[in-house]
Amino acid sequence: MWSIGIDIGGTFTDVVVRGPERTLARKVLTTHDDPARGVEAGIAGLLAEGRLDPRSVDRLVHATTLFTNTLIERKGARTGLITTRGFRDALEIGRERKYELYDLTIAKPSPLVPRDRRLEATERMGANGEVVAPLDERSLDEAMSGLARSGVEAVAIGFLHAYANPEHERRARARLAERFPGVAFAISSEVAPEIREFERLSTTVANACLMPLADRYVAQLAERIAAHRIGCRLLLMLSSGGLTDVDEARRFPVRMLESGPAAGAIAAAWFGKRAGHEDLLAFDMGGTTAKLCLVDAGEPLVTHLFEACRERRFIPGSGLPLKISALDLIEIGAGGGSIAFVDDLGLLKVGPESAGSEPGPACYGLGGRRPTVTDAVLMLGYLDPAFFAGGAMPLRMDAACTALDSLAAPSGLSGAEIAWGIFEVVTENMVSAARVHVAGRGRDPRRYTLLATGGAGPVHAWQVAARLGIERVVCPPSAGVASALGLLLAPARADRAATVAEPLAALDWTRFEATFRRIEEECRSVLAHAGCAPDSARIVRSADLRFRGQDFELVVELPEGPYAPASEAGIAEAFRAAYERTFSRVPPGIEIEVVNVRVAARAGGAGAGAAEGEAGAAVRADREAREVRKGTRPAYFPEHGRPTRTPVFDRYALRPGDRFPGPAIVEERESTVVVGPGGYFEIDTWGNLVMTRSTAPAPGVPPPSAAERPEP
């Protein structure tokens, strides 16, 4: 039986087909007018290439950036909000904080729902879940009638303290859904059943905004796939790095905002852990964006408050807060398609605008005229224009040179200098993002291994590592389609939360345990719908804990239950240990509070029990009758000051134990690895290409022969 992974990015759609003995992969340009069309083309091509019977496909997993882009571009459904009377402006007031205190021109992210579509109903719940004022159905009907007249396609319902008692929200949805069957409804007690009104409303509105799009898109995708006689269940990647079924994705599309980047981080963690590199900085650079994620002890870090549409990409509080579980990663507009330009001060800048797939970089020959990172990389000699995407998409050097020369006059540099300048600027953009991301979590990048994936990641990884002080870089097999492969390695996952808001010392332990059991059952139900045996799920309990008087919490994994009064000491100790790891000091003698409790349930996952041959099959597929060296070509390295003749290696001919000095270029169909001078690369047991930055000769590596030495 076969599994198919599909990752739709801003420039390329990656499709991977994996079976018991081989792995096939293909990159096709993303069709933005109809993303399912590109998916269909990729699947059809691989089925034909592998001569596979579509009925032998028993698993289909999908990730997409469609929902993220929809929020960023504000192109979601026309959405309304119904909330408790007196609270319509909570969505705009937010936390009444300026993310830049002294910026007089500060721009706050505008709400997804304008004030004229934020209406109110008369009702009130208390913080303890008691009804203060019953739901006035007449006011509810009036609010909905007003929204219907404005042409809304979706409505978010968010009442005060609905996390404590969801009864009013459920009644409101049932009544309105019956009267307005063409409208999608989202209620906050299901989307984000946690304390804090602003974040809960923001998440619910974003979810409602995406629901009509998710419904149409998933239905269309399923129809296209069924046309190829593939009848297996469709699963979708969540931002948390797990998988869910179609029904869950339609109800909660906001949980899929980071599905594509999450898949890349999952693949990086899996490849790294298998090869003995458990502390990683996962670096994924594609055609439109670059993503970075910390992996500690083999597990990507997870956050439970995500920000979308930031006004300032590195500044917390400048975006729309969303209460979802997501891998803790940073994403910036730095990819192969990022456009270079000279600003009004004569400075060279790169991104965040991207040429995408339409028209794409100038060297694609599809109508693009503006210079991009891919054009620069081609001119520097790192890419073979005849072997891009395995030769399926030849590049035009003349078009790249013309585009780069267009910056020569305003900058006063030659085309070659512009090319290296673009490479330097985009690399420094990514390094700056990495420094902020790593330092903000109290980590030192020098103790990590950089694991590079994506079509462009292995090209830039050496320089990124050098600037971060990282000595070792790992490029796994088929790195260019690692996100799609990560979809096939991920387990099914469900995350649920509930608010407790009690001092640890005053907990009702019977009710505390019952709350955990209730949300665990909800998680198991989701896993069952995704086709997993719920009894096989691995359950992780955690809680949002803080010291009394603080307005922030730490999410702490808890000791195993069931919980009773004797559990208090273990929970307190887990919190204090986490607090000390994060802040170095623990304040003595202050009461601990439990704000929220959380459950993460995971089951299955192709990574469990995967044989060595499965992920390495692409590397070994064409080894026989192949020469390791493909030839040489001029490539620019700043250490040499000019282009030098550089050996080019065939990734598919390399064997475990092979070791060669840099500089070198290693090519495979989906990506190219650039190894700089002053180090070496080798192939490990698992088929990973491991680069080591060192000025000393590599152990066991003979000095390069005259034929191997880079020459002008």
More confident residue, 68 or 709: 68
- pLDDT confidence of residue 85: 96
What are the pLDDT digits (tens) for 136-158? 999 999 999 999 999 999 999 99
The yes-or-no verdict on residue 708 having pLDDT over 60 is no
Match 């390791």 to its residue by tokens: 628
> Are 15 and 112 part of one and the same domain?
no
Tally of structural domains, the chain: 5
- pLDDT confidence of residue 116: 95
Read off the pLDDT band of 623 (50, 70, 90).
Answer: very low
- pLDDT confidence of residue 506: 93
> Are 688 and 630 part of one and the same domain?
yes
The yes-or-no verdict on residue 622 having pLDDT over 70 is no
CATH number (domain holding residue 556):
3.30.1490
The separation between CA 261 and the C-alpha centre of its own chain, rounded to angstroms, equals 2
Q: Which residues have CB under 8 Å from 211's CB, separation 6+? A: 77, 154, 184, 186, 250, 251, 253
The yes-or-no verdict on residue 221 having pLDDT over 50 is yes
- In whole angstroms, give the CA distance from residue 362 to residue 437: 32
Q: Tell me the percentage of the chain whose pLDDT exceeds 90.
A: 51
| 301: in domain | no
Domain closes at, from 540, 574, 603: 603
> Are 501 and 596 part of one and the same domain?
yes
Tokens describing residue 36: 């399912």
What are the pLDDT digits (tens) for 97-106? 888 888 888 8
CA distances from 547 to 192, 438, 506, 592 (A): 23, 25, 14, 5
Q: Tell me the percentage of the chain whose pLDDT exceeds 70.
A: 94
Q: Which residues have CB under 8 Å from 188's CB, separation 6+? A: 156, 157, 158, 159, 162, 163, 169, 200, 201, 203, 204
| 670: in domain | yes
> Are 587 and 667 part of one and the same domain?
no
Match 């840099």 to its residue by tokens: 662
> Are 533 and 570 part of one and the same domain?
yes
Contact 500, 598 (CB under 8 A): no
> Are 175 and 242 part of one and the same domain?
no
| 474: in domain | no
Q: What's the DSSP call for residue 372?
A: B
| 440: in domain | no
| Residue 388 host element (H or E) | none
Tokens describing residue 628: 């390791």
> Are 169 and 234 part of one and the same domain?
no
What are the pLDDT digits (tens) for 62-83? 888 888 878 877 889 999 999 9
Read off the pLDDT band of 32 (50, 70, 90).
Answer: confident
- pLDDT confidence of residue 280: 93
> Are 549 and 592 part of one and the same domain?
yes
Domain closes at, from 378, 401, 424: 424
The yes-or-no verdict on residue 619 having pLDDT over 50 is no
Contact 60, 3 (CB under 8 A): yes
| 329: in domain | no
What are the pLDDT digits (tens) for 568-607? 999 999 999 999 988 889 999 899 999 999 999 988 765 4
- pLDDT confidence of residue 707: 41
Domain closes at, from 400, 424, 448: 424
Read off the pLDDT band of 510 (50, 70, 90).
Answer: very high
> Are 350 and 390 part of one and the same domain?
yes
- pLDDT confidence of residue 169: 97
3-state SS, residue 183: coil
More confident residue, 442 or 114: 114
- pLDDT confidence of residue 254: 94
- pLDDT confidence of residue 626: 57
| 482: in domain | no
Domain of 557 in residue numbering reads as 493-603
The separation between CA 203 and the C-alpha centre of its own chain, rounded to angstroms, equals 18
Amino acid residing at 402 = T
For residue 557, which of 570, 572, 540, 573 has the smallest C-alpha distance?
540
- pLDDT confidence of residue 702: 41
Do you find a cis peptide bond into 562, omega within 30 degrees of 0?
A: yes
The yes-or-no verdict on residue 705 having pLDDT over 60 is no
3-state SS, residue 311: coil
- pLDDT confidence of residue 605: 64
3-state SS, residue 636: strand
For residue 633, which of 614, 621, 618, 646 has the smallest C-alpha distance?
646
Cβ-based neighbour number of residue 410 at 10 Å: 12
| 246: in domain | yes
> Are 544 and 630 part of one and the same domain?
no
Cβ-based neighbour number of residue 557 at 10 Å: 12
> Are 584 and 683 part of one and the same domain?
no
Do you find a cis peptide bond into 663, omega within 30 degrees of 0?
A: yes
Backbone phi and psi for residue 46, each to the nearest 5 degrees, phi listed first:
-75, -35
Contact 259, 326 (CB under 8 A): no
| 664: in domain | yes
> Are 249 and 181 part of one and the same domain?
no
Contact 19, 55 (CB under 8 A): no
What are the pLDDT digits (tens) for 234-247? 888 899 888 888 88
Amino acid residing at 286 = G
CA distances from 201 to 88, 212, 543, 701 (A): 10, 18, 22, 60
- pLDDT confidence of residue 611: 35
CATH number (domain holding residue 221):
3.30.420.40
Contact 494, 523 (CB under 8 A): yes
CA distances from 343 to 371, 408, 431 (A): 14, 13, 21
- pLDDT confidence of residue 28: 86
- pLDDT confidence of residue 52: 84
More confident residue, 104 or 546: 546
